[in-house]
Structure 1
Amino acid sequence: MKQLPYVSAEQLAALEFDYVVVGAGSAGCAIASRLAEDPSVTVALLESGPPDHHFSVTAPLGLALLATRRGPRNYGYFSVPQPALHGRRSYQPRGRGLGGSSSINGMVYVRGHRNDYDEWAVAGCHGWSYRDVLPYFRRSECNELHAGSDDNPWHGGHGPLHVSNLRSPNPFSQRFIEAALQAGFPLNHDFNGEKQEGVGLYQVTQRNGERWNTPRAFLHGGDPTDANMNGGRSRLTVLTNSQALRVVFDGRRARGVSIVRDGMKQTVRARREVVLSAGAYGSPQLLMASGIGPAVHLREFGIEVVHDLAGVGQNLQDHADVLVNKQLDTTDLFGRSVRGGMRLLSEILRYRRHRTGMVTSNFAEAGAFVRSRAELDIPDLQLHFVPGMIGGRGGRQRVRGHGYSCHVCVLRPHSRGEVRLRTPDMRDAPSIDARLLSDKRDLDSLVEGVRIVRRIFAQRSLAGMGGRELFTESLGDGDGSDDAIREFVRSHADTVFHPVGTCSMGTGPMAVVDPSLRVIGVEGLRVVDASVMPTLVGGNTNAPSIMIAEKAADMMRREWAGARLVAAV
């Protein structure tokens, strides 16, 4: 395994790379890999967590263990108490280790609506319209329905990120689709095609029934046992278990990253640029710990201010989400029971032999994009149907028995939160205030979303199977009153784990990075991850994060090629 040698500080000071990338998540793996395609440069990719070589990562069903609790591969953050959620703290899982959240997420491949990107461009993020970003979505993707082909205008067939249909979709996922059709919603076979609206099965980032996270796509060359974790590319050095402490500056230019490994502090130096890809919580935290952020806040912790940048940590957005559960006694559905445990054992054996069956499930198998009000031009709600129950207060506590559930989330929330330092030490969790449902419009949208889910559940394809709703007894039958649904939402809502926006791209006074993703006010430093999104896209955020990295790599290569040309002249 290629690692930085444990040598003296004097020796280590002479060890440099052209690029140092902090964070090996969805964006970090992609940009490090793309930069390393240039044989003339060297790249170091730093990751605080472990490698991804583990069955719980490769087996899709492992997300039930990884995403639901804090552990070596999940930071398991919690927000500060949320007033609109009756003072509850919001659960905020974030991936730790190679792949970041792509190693623990639900594997849903959704890009968002084309209008989302066009609005970025209108707001001043030139070069980020849907027409501009679509080629980068296609470049990263190898869609099994179009593999080896460039003929489809929406999908790629040659990229490193495998996107597939589910191998063994649950029969209740199909029942959900039929019920949605009976409720009047249109069928959609491709949420990433010409139209987003409608109901259908999600495509997933899997290959042959295994999770295809970003290390498998961009680092390992498809080999999950790759010992060097770099796909055989000697100019790409991957360092796991390496916690970034701060960016090192020479004046206002980033020159490297101070890290700690096995208790020893070291500095990894960058000749060209430092790239932060630590995510919507990690990137603003690292900027502030390094002296870039709101000056008053930094001085509270005794941090020397490199640049007073008010927008760092602001503009936090996430998909506020609530679940409707229905209990039904069948082991075709995931659940906690003796019979369910026996069924799962047989499914594990089936998976080991054939890579099929329930272990290939991403849980969020089917879904829909719908409008809460008929007068809207595009969908403002997303549904994720799960062939299992996810219940309890906040929608994340375990419940006994079997059943199914459906998430509904607000796609373009009006509520805005913030990330702040809790301490100046990057090894401590940041302070996260999501301010969920602080804007009444988000609550109103979720009220309509609950009604839509219950209307789908009431159709014959699902209702004919029997069962009873859990946690919604106060809503009664039919539509239920606004007040009762609001109380239900406040008591059970959380997020669907899509935080963005805390290092917002733009040109205004609260922008943190410019449209080339360079940190404003300093040199040699960029942010490349979901934190740069000025507004949250209408869908899951894994694919857009990879797209951002693909586009950033091209911008960086062009800039440095131009600089070399000018120097030569």
Structure 2
Amino acid sequence: MDGFDYVIVGAGAAGCVLANRLSEDPGTRVLLIEAGGWDRSPFVRVPKAFARLMDDPRTAWHYPATIAPGRHETWQRGRLIGGSTAINGMVWSRGAAADWDALAPLGWGWSTMGPIFAQLEDHPARDTDGPVRLSVATGTDPLCEEMLETGAELGWRRADDLDADDGERIGYVTATIHAGRRVTAADAFLHPVRQRPNLTVAVDTVALRLLVEGGRAVGVRVAHRGREVDHRAAAEVILAAGALATPQLLQVSGIGPADTLRAAGVPVLLDRPRVGAGLREHRPIPLQYRLAEPGGYNARLGSPLGQARAALRWLATRGGPLALPVLDVAAHVRSRPELDRPDVHLLMAPFSAAPPRPGRALELEREPGLLCLGTVTRPDSEGSLAVTDPDPRTPPAIVANYFATAHDRRVAVDAVRLVRELFATGPIAKRIAAETLPGPAAQTDEEIIEAGRTHGYCGYHAIGTCAMGTGDDHVVDPQLRVRGVDGLRVVDASVLPAMVSGWTSAPVTALAWRAADLILGRTTD
């Protein structure tokens, strides 16, 4: 049994930030627990190699999720140092100021969070020098330039910095890539302080349950190499395992909906109905187009020979298509002109995906194509997560509940029609031969929603399963302390009660930075 001041569960975006900040004082003992291994795979460094990491159970958790009766999909999350920042699409987006301001009554408004982002970022378009090194890869392919020109024809402002304002805009993606290499949370925050003698990192260590004595979290029981060990925390236990693993660990520890826990054979410590409820997730709907003539990445990356050439180019120069984020171009747009701000985000790239094959990483079509993902930015459909077994190594039951609300269905339908308008306009329209996915058969509202369920997939942005709030029924308070258990805090995407307009890696990083100040008593908010 080892003793520490802080025990942090999860070495992803939040956990790496917390390990860095909480171990600054050499007199403070910090333990960071990660179920996966070190981030030594060469595919971590190669930006476009993310699909290999996502499909490998050694580097990604594979959670089964129900999207409709009898219909299932797999949600991947990072299972290595760096967490999902080591396997994600590398899109960095702060989220809209208006969405942060909706959290201002909880102390998380834009006036608080905006300066934190500025402190974190090393951005080529800004006068910043933070630990997260970012890049914007411009001019990646002529097709991308034509997408940008077409967006401008529709009235979207072309932006060199997509986070500069919250209006309708289109531009190249801001990515966690520097000099052609992926920048993970571990690169930015953990590896630079790895040698601190007061910081211990335990890899291949699965958190089994929380240790609670007299109403206080005093540690975590873990499994490591077939042996169970208790690690005790004198100050706090901090859950930073993400919006799926954190509520699961709370539930197997007896903190959650009493009926759910009893049905799973877990003794009830604290009846908290909202643990695992309120799950929100993006559902990108893909539209693909066949090009009328050669172009794009398919020819370069759609065959073993093309992939080998791209790999050699990356090894020699850290350039080429393998040095780019998951998709090249992003846009934040309004689904209808009467709206006051964007409610849809798009991701576009000059390639098209081949039909998925079981057990295979993402593959590209041989014929030239384009891909655009249309996503409801702020979905309000809510799913749930519930344990079915006391062992946290048994996947929980996840119900996605996509498109459950009239709002989400309307915005999704409008998003698809907006994408079709984009690719029927201006310079890019001259490149298009046909829409191949979902295809011309999907025209009515219901046909489009069904296409979203059939061809779409999770956005890897789950939130809300331990949402913060001021009411006694909320899982955590505005300081992210778990109600009903002293010495226990949650710091990850699960505490967000609503999406903050875009992708979640950057918001979680900033959230963890501020949480460290709260933990250390450096702010009274």
User: What TM-score range do you get, normalising by the shorter chain?
Assistant: over 0.9
User: 2:140 is aligned with what amino acid?
Assistant: P
Tell me, yes or no, if structure 1 residue 172 matches structure 2 residue 138.
no
CA distance in 2, matches of 1:302, 1:491: 34
Partner of 1:90: 73
CA RMSD, aligned part only?
2.2
Partner of 1:138: 118
Tell me, yes or no, if structure 1 residue 106 matches structure 2 residue 89.
yes
* Runs of 4+ residues deviating >6 angstroms: 336-339
Offset of 1:187 from its aligned partner? Answer: 1.6
Partner-residue secondary structure (3-state), 1:50: coil
User: 1:301 is aligned with what amino acid?
Assistant: A
Q: Is the 8 A contact 1:161 1:212 kept in 2?
A: yes
Offset of 1:509 from its aligned partner? Answer: 4.5
Partner of 1:78: 64
TM-score, normalised via structure 2 length: 0.94
Gaps of 5+ in 2: none
CA distance in 1, matches of 2:156, 2:365: 31
User: 1:298 is aligned with what amino acid?
Assistant: L
1:525-562: CA deviations, max 9, x gaps? 00000000011111100000001100000011117x99
Partner-residue secondary structure (3-state), 2:371: strand
User: 2:415 is aligned with what amino acid?
Assistant: G
Offset of 1:371 from its aligned partner? Answer: 0.6
Partner-residue secondary structure (3-state), 1:474: coil
1:160-211: CA deviations, max 9, x gaps? 1111112772332222112222233222222211334211111101111100
Partner-residue secondary structure (3-state), 1:494: coil
CA distance in 2, matches of 1:143, 1:354: 22
User: 2:503 is aligned with what amino acid?
Assistant: N
C-alpha distance 339-546 of structure 1, shift in aligned 2 (>3 A): closer
Partner-residue secondary structure (3-state), 2:209: strand
Q: Is the 8 A contact 2:301 2:307 kept in 1?
A: no
User: 1:217 is aligned with what amino acid?
Assistant: A
Partner of 2:456: 493
Partner of 1:48: 35
Partner of 2:264: 301
1:53-105: CA deviations, max 9, x gaps? 221101101113223x242111122212425xxx4223311111111110011
Offset of 1:275 from its aligned partner? Answer: 0.3
Q: Percent identity?
A: 36
Q: Is the 8 A contact 1:246 1:287 kept in 2?
A: yes
Of 316, 324, 327, which residue of structure 1 is paired with 2:287? 324
Partner-residue secondary structure (3-state), 1:499: coil
C-alpha distance 338-112 of structure 1, shift in aligned 2 (>3 A): closer
CA distance in 1, matches of 2:35, 2:294: 39
CA distance in 2, matches of 1:187, 1:168: 13
1:282-331: CA deviations, max 9, x gaps? 00000011111112211223322222111100110011220000123877
Partner of 1:192: 163
CA distance in 1, matches of 2:270, 2:444: 51
Partner-residue secondary structure (3-state), 1:220: helix
User: More displaced, 234-243 or 320-329?
Assistant: 320-329
Q: Is the 8 A contact 1:457 1:463 kept in 2?
A: yes
Q: Is the 8 A contact 1:82 1:89 kept in 2?
A: yes
CA distance in 2, matches of 1:340, 1:72: 25
CA distance in 2, matches of 1:403, 1:382: 21
Q: Is the 8 A contact 1:517 1:527 kept in 2?
A: yes
Q: Is the 8 A contact 1:70 1:93 kept in 2?
A: no
Of 315, 330, 336, which residue of structure 2 is paired with 1:373? 336
1:507-539: CA deviations, max 9, x gaps? 225410000000001101000000000111111
Tell me, yes or no, if structure 1 residue 482 matches structure 2 residue 445.
yes
Partner-residue secondary structure (3-state), 1:454: helix
CA distance in 1, matches of 2:287, 2:391: 39
User: 1:450 is aligned with what amino acid?
Assistant: V
How many residues align structurally?
A: 520
Tell me, yes or no, if structure 1 residue 117 matches structure 2 residue 100.
yes
1:360-385: CA deviations, max 9, x gaps? 01121101001111121111000011
Q: Is the 8 A contact 1:393 1:492 kept in 2?
A: no
Partner of 1:360: 323
Of 53, 63, 74, which residue of structure 1 is paired with 2:50? 63
Tell me, yes or no, if structure 1 residue 17 matches structure 2 residue 4.
yes
Of 396, 401, 412, which residue of structure 2 is paired with 1:430? 396
CA distance in 1, matches of 2:32, 2:268: 26
1:420-465: CA deviations, max 9, x gaps? 0021111111111111111132122111111111111122422222
User: 2:374 is aligned with what amino acid?
Assistant: V
User: 1:49 is aligned with what amino acid?
Assistant: G
CA distance in 2, matches of 1:374, 1:99: 40
C-alpha distance 202-183 of structure 1, shift in aligned 2 (>3 A): same
CA distance in 2, matches of 1:316, 1:244: 22
1:379-400: CA deviations, max 9, x gaps? 1000011222135489x97563
C-alpha distance 176-218 of structure 1, shift in aligned 2 (>3 A): same
Q: Is the 8 A contact 2:423 2:429 kept in 1?
A: yes
Gaps of 5+ in 1: 1-12, 150-156, 222-229, 563-569
Partner-residue secondary structure (3-state), 2:59: coil
Q: Is the 8 A contact 1:167 1:209 kept in 2?
A: no
Tell me, yes or no, if structure 1 residue 162 matches structure 2 residue 150.
no
CA distance in 1, matches of 2:98, 2:298: 39
Offset of 1:497 from its aligned partner? Answer: 1.5
User: 2:403 is aligned with what amino acid?
Assistant: L
CA distance in 1, matches of 2:511, 2:397: 26
Q: Is the 8 A contact 1:504 1:510 kept in 2?
A: no
Q: Is the 8 A contact 2:256 2:270 kept in 1?
A: yes
Q: Is the 8 A contact 1:144 1:163 kept in 2?
A: yes
Offset of 1:483 from its aligned partner? Answer: 4.4
TM-score, normalised via structure 1 length: 0.87
CA distance in 2, matches of 1:504, 1:339: 42
C-alpha distance 196-245 of structure 1, shift in aligned 2 (>3 A): farther
Partner-residue secondary structure (3-state), 2:422: helix
Offset of 1:414 from its aligned partner? Answer: 1.7
Q: Is the 8 A contact 1:60 1:361 kept in 2?
A: yes
Q: Is the 8 A contact 1:141 1:161 kept in 2?
A: yes
Of 128, 135, 143, which residue of structure 1 is paired with 2:108? 128
Offset of 1:253 from its aligned partner? Answer: 0.6
Of 200, 206, 209, which residue of structure 1 is paired with 2:177? 206
Partner of 2:365: 400
CA distance in 1, matches of 2:178, 2:294: 26
Offset of 1:215 from its aligned partner? Answer: 0.4
CA distance in 2, matches of 1:342, 1:515: 53
Partner of 1:542: 505
C-alpha distance 82-487 of structure 1, shift in aligned 2 (>3 A): closer
Q: Is the 8 A contact 1:363 1:388 kept in 2?
A: no
User: 2:99 is aligned with what amino acid?
Assistant: D
Partner of 1:443: 409
1:99-143: CA deviations, max 9, x gaps? 111001111110111111111224xx1x11111111221222121
User: 2:342 is aligned with what amino acid?
Assistant: P
C-alpha distance 231-23 of structure 1, shift in aligned 2 (>3 A): same
CA distance in 2, matches of 1:48, 1:508: 33
CA distance in 2, matches of 1:483, 1:296: 35
C-alpha distance 29-410 of structure 1, shift in aligned 2 (>3 A): same
User: 1:44 is aligned with what amino acid?
Assistant: L
Q: Is the 8 A contact 2:102 2:109 kept in 1?
A: yes
C-alpha distance 173-256 of structure 1, shift in aligned 2 (>3 A): same
User: 1:93 is aligned with what amino acid?
Assistant: Q
